[in-house]
Amino acid sequence: MLPMRELGRSGIKIPPVVLGGNVFGWTADTAASFRVLDAALERGLKAIDTADVYSRWLPGHTGGESEAIIGVWLKERQNRDKVIIATKVGLDMGNGKEGLSRARIFQAVDESLIRLQTDYIDLYQAHRDKPATKLEETLGAFNDLIKAGKIRAIGASNYTAKRLAEALSVSKAHGLARFESLQPLYNLMERKEYEGALQDLCVAEGIGVINYYALAAGFLTGKYRKLEDAAGARGGTVRAYCNETGWDVLAALDKHAARLGGTPAQLALAWVLAQPGIAAPIASATKVEQLDDLVKAATLKLDAAALADLDVASA
């Protein structure tokens, strides 16, 4: 059994790695998604993160594809009580359906519940800060949804330290539910957004951090060893990491993976888990065998030498 961690003060307990649902309906079709979801649950990876907008970026897609696949899986397997579902609201779904106004949040949550084929969402997250909408309105809407039993807890994604602090202050001043989680971009190749003021705030306030792109779009698995390898659906993102820093990080991962008996992906996730404030990194999988890295990373402890080398290589 994987150890479980409480997400902020929400009472929700999650495993030390969250399964990313962005690939469902994108690089994993329904059958492949079901295989991954079945195997993940068998391995104790019971928390799944998705969003209403996944995968609207594909030609012919309208958004909601990932939620819909998860919903069919939940209905067919009859396992809703065994799974933690996190999804998001706020990005453009077309036809003016975007933002974090009260009306949009109320509309979006019902649409997500229908696609997910459930009557509640465990963690409902503001996908991206929308300064045009007052925090009182957004947090008030979330608070009412918690009272209605449609969601259990709320989180923020892609918020700055300043705005997250403001949101926490508004919640406290008005007696509203607060953001219990933060979903920032964070991995060995992308450290600037989280480290510093944002990390300090999350640690001080006890906010659980579930960072996305924990494996840098797959770069940190070691799959890409030269620029020419960066092809396919995620090639554009990966090419940005094919530089001197990237090769240094891979070299450090290789060195300590061989010494500790792990893989580059396992060490990359273990490094994230060793950082202050991190509750669980988010990592996706399109094949069942990729889940083994996620499970092993959850119990892999890096020693001082490995942590120091990875810190230097990725600085």
Residue extents of the structural domains in the chain: 5-221+267-301
Query: What Cα–Cα distance (Å) separates residue 315 from each residue in 228, 307, 312?
Result: 25, 12, 5
- Which distant-in-sequence residues (6+ apart) come within 8 Å of 190 by Cβ? 213, 216
Per-residue pLDDT of the chain (315 residues; tens, 9 = 90+): 899 999 999 999 999 999 999 999 999 999 999 999 999 999 999 999 999 999 999 999 999 999 999 999 999 999 999 999 999 999 999 999 999 999 999 999 999 999 999 999 999 999 999 999 999 999 999 999 999 999 999 999 999 999 999 999 999 999 999 999 999 999 999 999 999 999 999 999 999 999 999 999 999 999 988 777 667 655 678 999 999 999 999 999 999 999 999 999 999 999 999 999 999 999 999 999 999 999 999 999 999 999 999 999 999
Judging by DSSP bridges, how do beta strands 5-6 and 13-14 pair with one another?
Answer: antiparallel
Query: What does the pLDDT read at residue 7?
Result: 97
Q: Under DSSP, is residue 254 helix (H, G, I), strand (E, B) or coil?
A: helix
Query: What does the pLDDT read at residue 53?
Result: 98
Cis peptide before 10 (omega within 30 of 0): no
Measuring CA to CA, which residue among 44, 50, 45 is closest to residue 67? 50
Query: What does the pLDDT read at residue 127?
Result: 98
Architecture of domain 5-221+267-301: Alpha-Beta Barrel (3.20)
Query: What does the pLDDT read at residue 130?
Result: 97
Query: What does the pLDDT read at residue 73?
Result: 98
Query: What Cα–Cα distance (Å) separates residue 8 from each residue in 179, 206, 209, 261, 302?
Result: 8, 6, 8, 32, 24
Query: What does the pLDDT read at residue 226?
Result: 79
Question: What is the rounded distance in angstroms from the CA atom of residue 108 to the CA atom of residue 99?
Answer: 10
Query: What does the pLDDT read at residue 237?
Result: 83
Phi and psi torsions of 89, nearest 5°: -140, 150
Q: Under DSSP, is residue 159 helix (H, G, I), strand (E, B) or coil?
A: coil
| Cβ pair 118, 75 in contact under 8 A | no
Query: What does the pLDDT read at residue 236?
Result: 72
Query: What does the pLDDT read at residue 28?
Result: 97
Q: Which residues pair with 179 in a beta bridge?
A: 154
Region of 58 on the Ramachandran plot (φ > 0 left; ψ -120 to 50 alpha; else beta)? beta
Q: Which residues pair with 85 in a beta bridge?
A: 48
Q: What residues are labeled active site?
A: 54
pTM of the prediction? 0.95
- Which distant-in-sequence residues (6+ apart) come within 8 Å of 165 by Cβ? 201
Question: What is the rounded distance in angstroms from the CA atom of residue 9 to the CA atom of residue 207?
Answer: 8
Question: What is the rounded distance in angstroms from the CA atom of residue 136 to the CA atom of residue 154?
Answer: 14
Query: What does the pLDDT read at residue 63?
Result: 97
Q: Where are the beta strands (DSSP E) in 41-185?
A: 47-49, 84-89, 121-126, 151-157, 179-183
